[in-house]
Structure 1
Amino acid sequence: MTDLIETQSPKRRITDPAEALAALERAIPGLADHRRAEPAALDWALIEESLGTALPSDYKYLAEWYPTFAIGDYILVGLPEPGEEHQMLRDIHSALAVLVEAWLVPELGLLPHPAPGGLLPWAESDESDKFMWSTAGEAPQQWRVTVASRGGAWWHYEGGTVQFLAELCEGTLEPWGLRMVDPEVTPC
């Protein structure tokens, strides 16, 4: 049975998307080399309407400035591309189906989105670790990151997506159940 470990909290939750992205760019040398010259115009209304919820502003800001990338050939951060928002939605729905079929533990309160507070995937590792939002809270900026490692460990991080990636890459976050992350970036 899967055990829910604990919750990690940052010393200070970064709420400004630009500040969070700057922290990620500091944590991953070379990431800024792949930054778009101008932010991409993404159809967030289409994505959010289809999902039935708004998404966290730090994630949206990251997606506007960066294409999909891998961190350390380990974590794939899938981001929408202009004109390909439907593909992102298919990927999310596919990931949700996998969560329902093989990962979620209803007796621990781990339910898929759109259940109240349900989990909504945003990334995964090459070892099938899952990175999701717990969609509880009045606004997406309050959502926490939930991690499900392939080894069965589940845990929460009380910060945003981009801050989570930054702290994981710089080593200030305990990688419970995850392997250490090499802070190199590969565009996909």
Structure 2
Amino acid sequence: MSVPCCSLGRVDVSALRARLNDAWRAPELHCPLPIHGAGHVCVPSDAEDLAELERVAADVVDGAGRPVRAWVVGGRAAGVPDGPPVGGEGGLPIGGEGGLLELRGWVLAEHWFGYGVTATADGPRRVVILARRAFTRPPGVGWVALLREATGWTEPDRCGVDWAATEAALGTALPGDYKDIVDTFGAGSFDEYLDLLVPGALGTDLVSWGQDMARYADLYRPYPVHPAPGGVLIWGTSEQELTFHWLTGPADPDDWPVLVQYLDGEWQRFDCGTGEFVLRLLTDRTPPFAFPPSAGPFPHWFASWELPEG
């Protein structure tokens, strides 16, 4: 996708968001600036200086409070780990005519978002930059650690659930990664899209919801409901009127697949654990995932219902 190379006014944050959204939805990012090429897109800005441009960029991605990294300084790669590729074949051009002179920004799950200065025939030009990033699971890193990174979650673990009592009330052990998510985040919502059911949470108590399923068994056909063998057990809801379940069974709960039920009653199965499912719901733009939270280039978050806002 080629994005028209017109500049944005200093306060036109909504227009910048719209332009970046349009670019992100394209199969491939392609920058319209000379020699820049594919893999990223630059949007010129009329910001007076880098300090103002940083404020605009931080507003666009809710980046205030997140660490800003310097990737290009004085036309040279700064050598900061986990930054976008710069210089060389396939990297962002640096130095010389058309290359980046300065580049700073944020690592935000499945993309890099930054701001800086690029050289042009008419002199230095300030730009905002969006580039895709492969967000993968390194060996030995758990799904919950990646969820922390993807959402920028820095709060201490909640650790307030009596899991033995919860599992006794439900009559089954529960997946370990689900328990890790609850212990880490507590009650709340990912991207205000997936609302987590948490034992003891007001209105979203996992045990109450699970025990009530038998009263509405017809809604879950063709599956039986837990505790029937092979029954479904709900663990999440959505304002988009989706519900998220485990397909329970004799297997280890860590091997239970996830089932999503849509408003029309149709079901979709995902052969992965809860932690992987939540992370991919947020970040994976490819089917069978491609849920709405993955559609935009902006940061993911967890809205806690236990902590005060702000």
Confirm or deny a common fold (TM above 0.5).
Answer: yes
Q: Distance in 2 between matches of 1:104 and 1:170?
A: 28
Alignment: residue pair count: 163
Deviation at 1:50, TM superposition (A): 1.2
TM-score by length of 2: 0.47
Write the deviation string for residues 148-183 of structure 1: whole angstroms up to 9, x where unpaired: 01133311111111110001101255356x851263
Alignment equivalent of 2:248, drawn from 122, 130, 135:
135
Q: CA 1:138 to 1:179, structure 2 compared with 1: closer, same or farther past 3 Å?
A: closer
SS at match of 1:70: strand
- Cα RMSD for the two superposed structures: 3.0
Partner SS, residue 168 of structure 2? helix
Change beyond 3 A, Cα 1:111–1:13: farther
Distance in 2 between residues matched to 1:27 and 1:73, nearest whole Å? 14
- Are 1:180 and 2:292 matched, yes or no? yes
- 1:152 is aligned, of 244, 258, 265, to 265
Matching of residues 39-188 of structure 1 within 5 Å: 39-80=158-199, 87-94=205-212, 96-97=213-214, 99-101=216-218, 103-106=219-222, 110-172=223-285, 174=287, 179-181=291-293, 183-188=300-305
Distance 1:63 1:46, change over 3 A: same
TM-score of the pair, normalised by structure 1: 0.74
Structure 1 moving runs of 4+ over 6 Å:
none
1: CA distance, partners of 2:302 / 2:183: 17
- Cα contact 1:27–1:167 (8 A) shared by 2: no
- Larger radius of gyration between Structure 1 and Structure 2: 2
Change (3 A) 1:119 1:42: same
> How many Å separate the matches in 1 of 2:150 and 2:166?
29
Higher relative contact order (CA 8 A, sep 6+): 1
Give the alignment partner of residue 23 of structure 1, picking from 127, 146, 171.
146
Give aligned-pair identity as a percent: 28
Q: Deviations over 1:20-50 (max 9, x none)?
A: 101222333x3x13x32x4514211111111
Structure with more helix by fraction: 1
Deviation at 1:58, TM superposition (A): 0.5
Runs of 5+ unmatched residues, structure 1: 1-11
